[in-house]
Structure 1
Amino acid sequence: MYGVNPNYEVIDGIPLYPDIASLPKAPELAVIATPPDTVPGLVKELGARGTKAVVVITAGFGESGGAEGRKLKNAMLEGARPHLLRVLGPNCMGVMVPRTHLNVSFSNVQPLPGQIAFVAQSGAVQTVVLDWATARNIGFSHFVALGEMADVDFGDMLDYLANDPYARAILLYMESVTQPRKFMSAARAAARMKPVIVLKAGRHMEGARAAASHTGALVGDDAVYDAAFRRAGMLRVYDLQELFSAVETLATLPPIRGDRLAILTNGGGIGVLATDSLMDEGGKLAEFSAETMDRLNAQLPSIWSHDNPVDMIGDASGERYAAALEAMFNDPGVDATLVLNCPNAMVDSAEVAQAVIDTYQKKTAKGVRPVLLTSWVGGTSLDAGRHLLIENRIPTYDVPSDAVRAFMQMVRYQRNQALLMETPPNLPEIFKPDVECARGVIEKALAEGREWLMETEAKEVLSAYRIPVVSTYFAEDPEKSAVAATNLGQPVVLKILSPDILHKTRVGGVVLDLQSPELVRRAAEVMLERVREAIPDARIRGFAVEPMIRRLHAHELIIGMTEDTLFGPVILFGHGGTAAEVIRDKAISLPPLNMHLARELMTRTRIFHLLEGNENLPHADLDGIAFTLVKVSQLVCDLENIVELDINPLLADEKDVLALDARIRVVRRGTSAKDRLSICPYPKELEEHITLPDGQTLFIRPIRPEDEPGLHRIFQHLSPNEIRLRFLHPMQILPHSLAARLTQIDYDREMALVVGGGSTEEGMELYGGVRIVADPDNENAEFSILLRQDKTGLGLGPMLLRRIIEYARLRHIGEIYGEVLAENKAMLKLCEAFGFKVKRIPDDPGVVHVSLRLFESATDSYP
């Protein structure tokens, strides 16, 4: 450790050097706490010396919006960039890694070693959490303050911590996100590997966007963060108390199996309160087996509650607690146990705590670690019992509701992960939008300088994406409106058409159920007068005439899209109609969507329960609604100029769905539709048809989540030896968790190309595939190839390897590598033919490392 200060020779026994140039060698890590105007020069000099990381404690880099501070921050980053030097901060508390005794911070408390990583933007929040955790004997693997995140941000830390074996769980205190696509990729990867819990501050800050559509009015900034956390599989908490509960739970509890909780108490009222909290949080009371009931009856007084919660009455001794707890631990229908203790003069709370500890340790000594939570409810008279529990690393909470909330946090995390790993169903039908038709409509409006498409144009865009719309006829004047009604031959709806009127009903621009052409003509004349009086400058293009739709059991829904300033496009679903903004029954999600994600979005609304139907109401076409959401998602992924969209109402009954009205706002963009998304969409441009020498036509495309069944079929075609050669160890079945991981990929960081029979991408039989998984910096990517044995010898292996190498070059990946069993001669021969370097692994002679350098240096690989 070196100190650098021109004014002193020694501080606290550490010799000081006058400047960076005089250091004996380049430091691996530098900590800068000097005035702001000196920092850019120091960073540049350290980078030139070979330092790879800098922690900038100093503030004053534009945190409050100052132009001079922003200029200094940019200069600091410019000094770091040529040397690939990473900067943590500025304006941060620093970094602490207790396991390695690293503490480069100004914290007054040294954290205990543990398995929780805590990353925060606020140093004040960190000091509070650290002080609380230390008092409860809770330790951390990492304690990192990000400060202003000029360079290193949440995405970087999630990538690092996801692969750190010493971090069992990750906690985030967040005020904002930078580089949302990097954040989403890192969060999705980390949350699949370990629990990630986030406390996001600033939930009620109003967005600056002026909303012109229902969707824009219904989607708030915090709701978008919530959608991002949900999509990534992270668990969100809402205050410091919940964060404390999460810290304690993660530090002490084993993985949770389910949501069935057993409650053991010496106070009936406290047990009832705990049960209420459990129901509020969506958990379940465990149902005891007959054997457990017999054991409880034998051990407890005859007046015990004879149900869950188990009320042992007020004089329950430690011995009674131990007997009941042991019975609960042995019940397979119990996923977790909450032990409550209320103070009284008959029993010492410390004695009860010790009995609980002894029973728990007796169980863990047998290799079984039950999920146990405790709450000693009361004041200082219970401190001795609480301290015993804390010392023995059994989670204890001040009140039962906190314990229940902590338990359900872990349950929700488990549920979120299970939902994300579900295999989505295939689309109900082949879906091929007419993208060029939709682009043409949008280009026409943009060429005329219009932001909002007229209703007829908006419906034309929806029709291009095969979204059912009500037939709409354009009429230039009242007379032609009557002619259109005559041609329809049924009651009609009349609407004003103007690029300056978005909410037609607010100015009397909609009239329903007109029974004759003459009534249509008169209504159009009155409508013109009313609209011109309300908005004199509005440009009136004419009228839209539509058939009056009546459906007995139809529901009015809204499907919309708006663009968040940070996360990009957001898709909304909810209760529609003119009262959509009043009812505010909505849920949002980030595109792209598949059928599973669309259904999950629907389930988060109240109206979904009506859509499911009941004995008096038929269920709506749920697949049709979900498919419409998927189509809107595809529209958003294809058409970069669409920035706001409303389908309201979308009529849905048991037969189908029908869009009755639509609004679309467009703005000319200089970026692609793909670039504005925070989650990389399916890369359709990589689809390709190939013809083999024997005339057989095959189709190559990126893998999809829906391909999991096809992957299982490939696995079934492999012999035990082929499985061992390709997966490097024997497997009898391909687990769902692994299959889901292989098919539900992040296209921004990995790519898997599959090849199959048939001339279309829909429903083809998979023959095999190739994949690469890159590190976050695109420096290295591991590749693998999987082919059915009966499809070898057709040249598919070389073809797939060639294409994935080409793709890696396009992604500017520095090197691809793989691990191959030494006995897999065919694969080694293929790698040598493509110029891979082959290297034996000294510690494992049965495995060969193959690598292909695509760029000479790391900086060469950057685009």
Structure 2
Amino acid sequence: MTIRNLDKLFRPQSLAIIGASDRAGAIGHVLARNALAEGFRGPVHFVNPKYPSVLTRPCVATIDALETAPDLAVIATPAATVPGIIRQLAARGTRGAIIISAGFGGEAGQALKREMQLAARPHLMRLVGPNCLGVIAPTIGLNVSFAHLSPKKGSIALLTQSGAILTSALDWAAARGIGFSHLVSMGEMLDVDLGDMLDYLASDGGTSAILIYAEAVTNARKFVSAARRAARLKPVIIIKAGRFGETASAVASHTGALAGSDAVYDAVFRRVGLLRVDDLAELFEAMETLALMGPAPGDRLTILTNGGGAGILAADALVRAGGRLAPLDATVLGRLDAVLPKGWSRGNPVDIIGDADPERYRVAMDILADDPHCDALLVLNSPTALTSSDEAADAVIAGLAGRKKPVLTSWIGDQTSRPARAKFAAAKIPSYTTPEQAIRAFGHMVAYRHSQMLLTETPPSLPGNFTPDRDIVRRMIDQALTKGRSFLTSPESLAVMNAYGINVVTDEIVATPQEARQQAEMMSGPLVLKLLSPDITHKSDIGGVVLGLTDGAAVEAAASAMLERVTILRPDARIEGFTLSPMIDRSASQELILGAVTDAQFGPVILFGQGGTSVEVTADRALALPPLNLKLARELIADTRVYRLLRGYRDRPAADLDGIALALVRVAQLMMDFAEIQELDINPLLANEHTVIALDARVRVVKNDAAPQRRLAIRPYPQELEEVIPDPDGGLLLLRPIRPEDEPGMIEAFEHLSSESVELRFFRVVTNPSHQMIAGLTQIDYDREMALVLTDADTPAGAVPPIYADVRLLMDPDRVEAEYAIIVRDDMAGRGFGSLMMERIIAYGRSINLARITGLVRMENASMLAICQRLGFTRRIDPDMPGLFHVTKELGGTGS
């Protein structure tokens, strides 16, 4: 379940507190007091056999004594009683419960939680908790918590797995006049989890931003899908506790050692567009900034200050954070010269001198706020005996009236600056104690904007058509598992990479030092000798790699010495021989690592960074979730320090970045195709301007009969839905799911639509579809939405695949019901494509167990209405939507 019956939790018409108390200081007493104090308009019932009344209100002894079933029950009774209470409430019709009760630890507690789930699920009753502080929804006067303060109404939602964080946030916000739409203490998330709440709040018109304190994520795919959807609509800021926890499973590769669980969370949050902060202070700062300002249009900041030192500190912090000082062009400089004293800084930071009076602040702000090269303005004030900081604040507040330029302030100090900061809070202008805090807040605005851009950026198409040789990989994996091996040998691992189109060095396998000599004499140039053992994965650690061998005698001697060393250091290891390969010139290349590991929570994760034998020491790595496209792969590369070297420096040309990105995409595909692969390393992956080649690789496998895609946090492109369709006019067409790379084709499709056709599909005239609009149509979450397009079966390389028709289902988060939409290009009308597309999308709906498909059709759209009638849709007129038919086809499923 996701959002089913969540309205009973957050918009109930009635509520009951089970365990209400008339004893001051008891949790049941605080719950009852808070429930009555906030003006909740529905009936509030109390249940407790110990009291005839609570706070002068009647209190019944049992749930059966309630006249009607409440929408929402708040349970604060001993843990052992909770399953039975849920069973009683659910049977009577209650569909939401908040379980304040604690004491569910150990085996007995786990058994109680299972009983609670079994009692609630048949009735679709939703549970928050257990072991939580409660829920507050100020907009409807709902406070069923034991929090010490009542928040103001606002548009920020706070989700937290810690009650202490909720009460701290209330304290902080009260001092600044910031309000909330929802405050939800999640507790142990037995049922309602972060994914459910993100789905619910994404569609809540009263919530403009979502803050999350998380200790763990449950149901990774639901969380990822819900977070991505929510982040496209409003800012979502998260603080994840437990940064330095170890991964859940043992690791045996460089990738496993580098990809700690917190780094994986970082990768997840970046992928879905969440802004991660490091501590509570930063969370509260972000709360204030986004509540009052929203995202910045860019990263260029102008700093206005009456103190040079404060301005320099702010500028330093900006550069460290990756922001830019906005340039002051000649026009702006001229205008400032005309109103500022001669000693002003004539640059950014704009230092208007320590004796700056309110008027000087005002005129400088007017000029800088009009500067098109400035994305935001930071105004600083250091207190002096020459002027009034308080009056300067008044001037800033007055000067901002009617302006849209984002402005942050920092009135530095404490006692003298408090009145000014209070005025800024009252005027809804963000104000910070130090310049560094203000810069960090500006960074939140910029980071949010950047994440939104990444969510809708069109990726380039993959070059050419590539089909990996999956049979080779399957054979290698099966051979290893049959023999009881958990690691493929280096030659096997390289063969796997080669099967997926990654250029690899050629290895020759030999059994003895003597055979190594014979093989070396048939090869030319410097050679590399490596130990071949299924039990030794890091060969360099025991001297199992020797470089630069120039003749057979040197190879034989190195192999014999290697055997002696291994016998001493690893007497238990099985030795299967050696490998010989040509030594690749590394002088003009970068050593990289490309790897993958299976995270216990989020499934496969791809890693990239600086490689070599000291890879754990340099710890230069970035992570990403599959599937990858070229755009995401390039972002991954750019997140590392080695990227600066890969771009070229001094006389060294740039490496083949496209080749590296393609290798990342193909490794991601390998991890999606084979559930048995738990970890893999390519180290080193050698890259220069001409080539990208794997010199060594290792792959760890385990038996796994599950479908490979089940372990993925993001559903990949569903290739199984591709279907070749005969064109009625001859030739072949391809019916397939839409891809992010289809944006150019969708734009071209709009050029083949009349304004009438567009209006029939979108119910409005769209003359020039924006990138944002087209990205929303092409960059979909295949787990939540499906769009099938009709295109040519064979599009020439480099050409834009045409989109002739498009049909899509947009599912509710519970995947019970989906709304369809369809459009066929005007020049393709009358060829039966509309019926074909509708039949295929209905078949897809059945395949995922949808209950029904619905749609809206204009009354004048005769062709669509005819198709609906032929396919068994019913139709009705909705009095709230004149001119439209509401059409429905029942599929008989139950949702997911």
TMscore range, shorter length: over 0.9
Q: 1:785 to 1:761 in 2, by over 3 A?
A: farther
Deviation at 1:348, TM superposition (A): 2.2
Q: 2:69 aligns to what?
A: 26
Q: What is the 5 A alignment of 1:749-828?
A: 749-759=784-794, 764-828=801-865
Q: 1:49 aligns to what?
A: 92
Maintained 8 Å contact 1:699/1:760:
no
1:87 to 96, 110, 127: 127
Deviation at 1:374, TM superposition (A): 0.9
Q: 1:16 aligns to what?
A: 59
Alignment partner of 1:620: what SS?
coil
Q: What is the 5 A alignment of 1:614-763?
A: 614-759=649-794
Summarize deviations over 1:815-857 as a string: whole Å, max 9, x none: 21112222211111111111112122212312222111212xx
Maintained 8 Å contact 2:621/2:640:
yes
AA aligned opposite 2:115:
A
Deviation at 1:120, TM superposition (A): 0.6
Deviation at 1:759, TM superposition (A): 4.3
Maintained 8 Å contact 2:678/2:701:
yes
Deviates more, 1:347-356 or 1:582-591: 347-356
Q: 1:844 to 1:210 in 2, by over 3 A?
A: closer
Q: 1:280 aligns to what?
A: 320
Q: 2:342 aligns to what?
A: 302
Q: What is the 5 A alignment of 1:137-148?
A: 137-148=177-188
1:109 to 144, 149, 152: 149
Deviation at 1:583, TM superposition (A): 1.1
**Counterpart Cα distance in 2 of 1:786 and 1:799:** 12
Maintained 8 Å contact 1:116/1:250:
no
**Counterpart Cα distance in 2 of 1:610 and 1:286:** 27
**Counterpart Cα distance in 2 of 1:187 and 1:478:** 57
**Counterpart Cα distance in 1 of 2:796 and 2:102:** 55
**Counterpart Cα distance in 2 of 1:329 and 1:319:** 15
Deviation at 1:618, TM superposition (A): 1.0
Q: What is the 5 A alignment of 1:246-645?
A: 246-361=286-401, 364=402, 368-645=403-680
Q: 2:16 aligns to what?
A: none
**Counterpart Cα distance in 1 of 2:865 and 2:522:** 72
Q: 1:692 to 1:114 in 2, by over 3 A?
A: same
AA aligned opposite 1:480:
E
Maintained 8 Å contact 2:724/2:793:
no
Maintained 8 Å contact 1:54/1:88:
yes
Q: 1:840 aligns to what?
A: 877
**Counterpart Cα distance in 2 of 1:80 and 1:293:** 68
AA aligned opposite 2:567:
R
Alignment partner of 2:628: what SS?
coil
AA aligned opposite 1:192:
R
Deviation at 1:491, TM superposition (A): 2.9
Deviation at 1:273, TM superposition (A): 1.0
Q: What TM-score, normalized to structure 2? A: 0.93
Summarize deviations over 1:420-450 as a string: whole Å, max 9, x none: 2111111123211011221111011101111
Maintained 8 Å contact 2:789/2:806:
yes
Q: 1:17 to 1:534 in 2, by over 3 A?
A: same
Maintained 8 Å contact 1:426/1:595:
yes
Summarize deviations over 1:645-702 as a string: whole Å, max 9, x none: 0000011111121111000000001321101111111111111112245442111211
**Counterpart Cα distance in 2 of 1:290 and 1:610:** 36
Summarize deviations over 1:529-552 as a string: whole Å, max 9, x none: 222222222111122111121154
Q: 1:137 to 1:285 in 2, by over 3 A?
A: same
Maintained 8 Å contact 1:773/1:783:
yes
Deviation at 1:124, TM superposition (A): 0.4
**Counterpart Cα distance in 2 of 1:252 and 1:712:** 36
1:232 to 252, 272, 275: 272
**Counterpart Cα distance in 1 of 2:270 and 2:486:** 32
Summarize deviations over 1:506-535 as a string: whole Å, max 9, x none: 222222222223332333233222222222
Aligned residues: 851
Q: Does structure 1 residue 217 correspond to structure 2 residue 252?
A: no
Deviates more, 1:328-337 or 1:187-196: 328-337
Q: Could you list the runs of 5+ residues in structure 2 that have no partner in the other structure? A: 1-43
Maintained 8 Å contact 2:232/2:455:
no
**Counterpart Cα distance in 2 of 1:213 and 1:274:** 42
**Counterpart Cα distance in 2 of 1:36 and 1:618:** 67
Deviation at 1:742, TM superposition (A): 1.2
**Counterpart Cα distance in 2 of 1:370 and 1:862:** 46
Q: 2:30 aligns to what?
A: none
**Counterpart Cα distance in 2 of 1:682 and 1:761:** 21
Alignment partner of 1:487: what SS?
coil
Deviation at 1:466, TM superposition (A): 1.3
Deviation at 1:644, TM superposition (A): 0.5
**Counterpart Cα distance in 2 of 1:209 and 1:386:** 49
**Counterpart Cα distance in 1 of 2:413 and 2:561:** 72
Deviation at 1:349, TM superposition (A): 2.0
AA aligned opposite 1:811:
I
Alignment partner of 1:755: what SS?
strand
Maintained 8 Å contact 1:822/1:845:
no
**Counterpart Cα distance in 2 of 1:408 and 1:524:** 56
Summarize deviations over 1:600-643 as a string: whole Å, max 9, x none: 00001111111111341111111100000000000000000000
Summarize deviations over 1:393-421 as a string: whole Å, max 9, x none: 11111111111110111101101211221
Alignment partner of 1:765: what SS?
coil
**Counterpart Cα distance in 1 of 2:281 and 2:653:** 44
Q: 1:127 aligns to what?
A: 167
AA aligned opposite 1:131:
D
Q: Does structure 1 residue 70 correspond to structure 2 residue 110?
A: yes
Q: What TM-score, normalized to structure 1? A: 0.96
Deviation at 1:765, TM superposition (A): 2.7
1:3 to 33, 46, 52: 46
**Counterpart Cα distance in 1 of 2:100 and 2:757:** 55
**Counterpart Cα distance in 1 of 2:393 and 2:888:** 58
Aligned-pair Cα RMSD in Å:
1.5
AA aligned opposite 2:701:
V
Q: 2:82 aligns to what?
A: 39
